[in-house]
Amino acid sequence: MALQATPYKITLDISDTDRGVYESVKFTVARHPSETEIRLASRILAYAIFYHPQLAFGRGLSDSDEAALWEIDLTGEIQHWIDVGQPDAERVIKASRRAPQMSVVVYGNARLWREKTILQFGHLDNVRVLALAQEELAIIAAKLTRSTHWGVMISDAQLYISDGDQQMPLPLECWHGELPTAP
């Protein structure tokens, strides 16, 4: 019998002063059996960073033809493809052809990935790569529970995650392209 995905009920209070986005959203996200808490936390934070009313979670790990997140317009066209992790250059290039915007939110020790992979798609104007600080992300991911309520403030390329008990800064680095701007 195959292992089942684990549902997480998430509430995010998003205050993105860089883009002028102020929303409180509730959703359920499935954690794939092989997915780490750090990857799940990265997907949730990517949702906050790129929040849009049409942004949705894809099947991610269970379907390689889908993004971790994507914004699909009312006509069914993909407007923004968002991957989380360290995808290979071929996947980034393919996704950049499928959507006007393609973003990668990188986590973990990605120095080698950055040196090797970005060179292969650095010429693409519609691709952006953002990196989450490894140590801070691990601390935030450890606070993830099956019912999580986070306040996420984004200001000057810095994330501040609040869980009610404490606030944790999480630096956001832009490795390629530009940071998200007002819609």
Give the per-residue pLDDT at 182.
65
In a domain, 19, yes or no: yes
In total, how many domains does the chain have? 1
Asked whether residue 181 is domain-assigned, the answer is: no
d(CA 171, CA 45): 12
Q: Count of H helices and E strands in the chain?
A: 4, 10
The reply to whether 1 falls in a domain is no
Per-residue pLDDT of the chain (183 residues; tens, 9 = 90+): 567 889 999 999 999 999 999 999 999 999 988 899 999 999 999 999 999 999 999 876 656 789 999 999 999 999 999 999 999 999 999 999 999 999 999 999 888 899 899 989 989 999 999 999 999 999 999 999 999 999 999 998 899 999 988 999 999 999 998 878 766
CATH number of the domain enclosing 103: 3.10.640.10
Residue 106 belongs to some domain of the structure: yes
The answer to whether residue 153 sits within a structural domain is yes
pTM of the model: 0.94
67-71 long-range CB contacts below 8 Å, 24 or more apart?
67/95, 68/43, 68/105, 69/43, 70/99, 71/101
In a domain, 182, yes or no: no
Which domain range does residue 150 map to? 7-176
